[in-house]
Amino acid sequence: MKPKTINILYWVFTILFAALMIFSSYDSILMNEKAKGFIHGYLGFPIYFIPFTGLAKLIGSIVILMPRLKTIKEWAYAGLFFDLMGAVYAGVAVAKKIDPMLAFMLVWFVPGILSYFFWKKKLKLEDKGRR
């Protein structure tokens, strides 16, 4: 695959993944009734946890969009994936089944995985270029 193609795919999937995560952080940061109803009322997490996860998702999303922050970017990807896995697990644990909404959340993993994959390919190309 050409370096330009890798770079384009990296940015497409990274922007898509970051946008999905920022979108999902909005209600939590505002701590509106929708977030309270779902995260506290349905999933049973404490209210003080709601803005923390929203801010963590927002910060992680910003970090994956920034160039050069190699180690912190690894942490951001890990944190965003832990958030997604935790949300899916908590939803399944409470519902005791996989409903269509939870299955839809699994789709959010795809741009994240592809973003990470192409970021690693991009790093390899940059390392080759420095030699």
Q: For 15-52, how does the pLDDT look when each residue is reduced to its tens digit (9 = 90+)?
A: 999 999 999 999 999 999 999 998 999 889 999 999 99
Domain boundaries, the chain: 3-130
Q: What is the pTM of this model?
A: 0.90
> What does residue 43 show for φ and ψ, rounded to 5 degrees?
-80, -25
Res. 127: pLDDT tops 90: no
> Which value, to the nearest 10 degrees, does the dihedral of the CA atoms of residues 69, 75, 77, 80 take?
-130
Short-list 26, 48, 27, CA closest to 38: 27
pLDDT in tens, 54-72: 999 999 999 999 988 899 9
